[in-house]
Structures are given as structure tokens and as C-alpha cells.
Amino acid sequence: MSSLVDFIKGSYTEFTTKVEWPKWPELQSSTIVVAVTSVLLALFTFGVDSAFSTAIKNFVGSLINMFN
């Protein structure tokens, strides 16, 4: 049990004294980069999904028309 307490104390000490936390402006700019990248990735995924969906609908429609 004491090893768990020592681990928690050591972790707390490391987080408060040894870790260099980002400054507020750096954190804001990183957040903006992540938000913009997420939106761009979502738009790209939407575009690819729409293109594949349209292609599959056209392909299946062509097959259906071929055998009618």
C-alpha cells in the first residue's frame, strides 16, 4: 500500500514541478490548429463519403438497368 502512496506523491511532485505546461497563447494557438484541422478532416471525409455513395448508386443503377 505504501508503494501506491509513494507513486501518487511522486506523480504529483512531477506534475507540479518537473512538467513544463504550455503558456496560454501557445495553448490557444494549438487549440485553433486542432479545431481547423478537425473541420477540414470532417469536410474531406464527407466529400469522399458522398463521392463513393454517388458512385455506388450509379453502379448499382447501371446493373439494374442492364438486366431489366
Global pTM value = 0.66
pLDDT at 10: 93
Query: Tens-of-pLDDT digits for all 68 residues of the chain?
Result: 789 999 999 999 999 999 999 999 999 999 999 999 999 999 999 999 999 999 999 999 999 999 87
Rounded to 5 degrees, φ, ψ at 10 are: -65, -40
Contacts of 66 (CB under 8 A, 6+ apart): none
pLDDT at 50: 98
pLDDT at 7: 95
